[in-house]
Structures are given as C-alpha cells and as structure tokens.
C-alpha cells in the first residue's frame, strides 16, 4: 500500500479540508488562530493543532514537517468589498503573503488554495502565480459552485492546485442531484428559529426563502453574518406555518459535512452560524483535491451524510 501523503493545513477553520480528506492523508498540523474554530476542530479531529498566527511561523517551522501538501483557505476580507479590497495593503493579507514567500523557499510537492471568487482578479493571485512559475510548479485553477456537483447549496469559490510533480485533470462535473435540501432538514420542531412576523414583514422581499416541500430547492451561500443580518447572508425556510432560519446542523449537512461532525455542546447558535458561515464546501474541496494523486479516494458520490 502506498504511504499516505502528509498535509499542512493552514487557516484550518473548523476542519473542512480535514473532512474532505477523510483520513486518506496524514495532517501533520492544522493552524488556526480563532479559538472557537479551533475548539470545533479539536472536537472532531485528532490531528495536531497550533494556535499561532501563520505570519509568525519561521521558515524552519515549515521545513521541519516536510509536508507533501500545503492546503490554505486564507482570510477573504482583503479581497471583498466589505473589506474594501485593500489586498496587499491589508494587514489580514500578511499571513498569505508569508506563505507565498515560504513556498518559494521550501517548494513543497503540492499547494492547494480556496478563496472567494474575486481572488481571481487580485494582485495577490498574480504574485502567487509568479512565485509558482519561478519555483518550478505547474498549476490549474477554477471557480466552482457545489451546485455543479449536485449539492443543493450555492457557494462559488476560487480554487487552485499546483504541483512540482504530476497533477491530475479534474474529472467532468456532474450536476445531477446527489441529495435534496429537504433531506437535510431537522425532523423536530425548531420554534426558536422562526423569523418574527415584524422582521418578515419588513424584509421578506430581500430574503432568499426556499420551500421545505420543494425537492429541487437550493440554498444560497451562508455567511458569518447569518442570524444577525437578513440580506444576502443565507437562505430561510418556508414551512407550512412560518418562515424560519436554518439550524447550524442543517447548514453543515448542506456544506457536505458528515453526520459524525458535531459542534461542542457549549457552542451558542450565534457562534455556530458564524463558524459554519466561515467554513467551506466539503464536496467541492474533495473534488479539487482529487487533482493531487493519492490525496483522496476518487468517489462516485459525495461524503456520506447519513439519511440523505
């Protein structure tokens, strides 16, 4: 049997990359500075973790792991309107710029990245591609929404895979529905998630509402502001008697996390919404990582999500 690849998981969040790899590789360390996200990661995975800013990690730290794959899902605010798109001048971009510098020095076998679609037009991407070219990498990049994989959740993201060794072409997309949004819904009453009538009356026209009985329904992209703002932060569910929020557990299933993935009992709903809104699509990440030979097992379907 071939030896498992080793992965350095940078900007790990709650562990979307680890969930996508699903034990098919050894994660040597997961780096994350958000305490609540790291708590969720440790709750679900046994991989070593580090609570330290990526930009503070010296060259020798990166070298000592000899990781074959560097995965990163860096902060997005430098590349979106809400963060004023300050890019290279944004302090939150320092960590990614530091990693790009280390790529040039250390040259791991593979590099993979997930970011918001606007990263595609950024100066940071241009710098990354120049570094990859100067360091002997070949790469492929794309923008992918989980709906193109038959997943009923919109979450378009930019992805890149680069390698100093062979990388595989991504297999053809198959948008045939893998499961329905309806099948992700909790079977118990969730009265506490109901949108109050006054808020619904004021904002209904700006809310994306899906019908619980619609087998073809697709939820919009959930963001960290879900539950705090109603405009463009995620979808709401129309049931027979009300309109309500989606629960964090329902969103996790729509993001492709398995039923075995849970949040600690002391996680508040507001914390949970923020954490899942900052996460990534597991099926999309797995699809992207299939370009690295031996990193994940190629499958004909998305990860098992229990009754779905």
Domains of the chain, CATH where assigned: 6-171+280-289 (3.40.50.150), 181-275 (3.90.120.10)
* pLDDT tens figures, 274-300: 999 999 999 999 999 999 999 986 554
pLDDT at 308: 29
* Nearest-angstrom CA–CA distance, 169 and 288: 10
Stretch (H or E) spanning 10: strand 6-10
Phi, psi of 119 (to 5 degrees): -60, -30
pLDDT over 70 (residue 150): yes
**How many CB atoms sit inside 10 A of residue 263's CB?**
21
Mean pLDDT over 130-157 rounds to 98
Tens of pLDDT, residues 66-87: 999 999 999 887 887 654 456 6
Rounded CA separation 54/29 (Å): 12
For residue 31, is pLDDT > 90? Answer: yes
219-257 pLDDT, tens digit per residue, is 999 999 999 988 889 999 999 889 999 999 999 999 999
Q: In the chain, what's the furthest Cα-to-Cα distance?
A: 61
Q: Map tokens 């595989």 to a residue.
A: 168
- pTM, entire model: 0.92
CB atoms within 10 A of CB 41: 21
Cα 200–chain centre separation: 30
- Alpha-carbon gap, residue 262 to 264, rounded angstroms: 7
């Amino acid at each position: 049997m071939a030896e498992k690849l080793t992965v350095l998981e940078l900007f790990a969040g709650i562990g979307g990359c680890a969930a996508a790899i699903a034990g098919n590789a050894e994660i040597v360390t997961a780096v994350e500075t958000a305490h609540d996200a790291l708590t969720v990661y440790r709750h679900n995975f046994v991989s070593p973790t580090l609570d330290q800013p990526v930009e503070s990690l010296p060259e020798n730290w990166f070298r000592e792991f000899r990781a074959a794959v560097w995965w990163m899902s860096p902060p997005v605010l430098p590349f979106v309107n809400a963060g004023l798109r300050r890019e290279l001048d944004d302090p939150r971009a320092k960590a990614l710029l530091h990693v790009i510098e280390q790529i040039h020095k250390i040259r791991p076998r593979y590099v993979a990245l997930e970011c918001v679609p606007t990263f595609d037009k950024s100066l940071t991407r241009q710098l990354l591609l120049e570094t990859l070219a100067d360091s002997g990498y070949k790469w492929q990049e794309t923008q992918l929404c989980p709906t193109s994989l038959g997943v009923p959740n919109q979450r378009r993201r930019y992805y890149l895979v680069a390698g100093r060794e062979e990388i595989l072409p991504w297999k053809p997309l198959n948008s045939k529905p893998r499961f329905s949004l309806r099948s992700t819904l909790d079977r118990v009453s969730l009265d506490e998630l109901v949108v109050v009538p006054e808020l619904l009356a004021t904002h209904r026209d700006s809310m994306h509402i899906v019908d619980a009985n619609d087998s073809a329904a697709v939820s919009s992209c959930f963001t960290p502001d879900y539950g705090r703002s109603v405009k463009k932060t995620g979808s709401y569910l129309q049931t027979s008697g009300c309109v309500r929020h989606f629960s964090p557990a329902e969103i996790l299933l729509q993001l492709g996390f398995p039923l075995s993935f849970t949040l600690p009992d002391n996680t508040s709903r507001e914390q949970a919404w923020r954490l899942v809104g900052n996460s990534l699509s597991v099926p999309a990440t797995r699809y992207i990582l299939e370009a690295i030979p031996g990193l994940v097992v190629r499958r004909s379907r998305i990860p098992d999500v229990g009754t779905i």
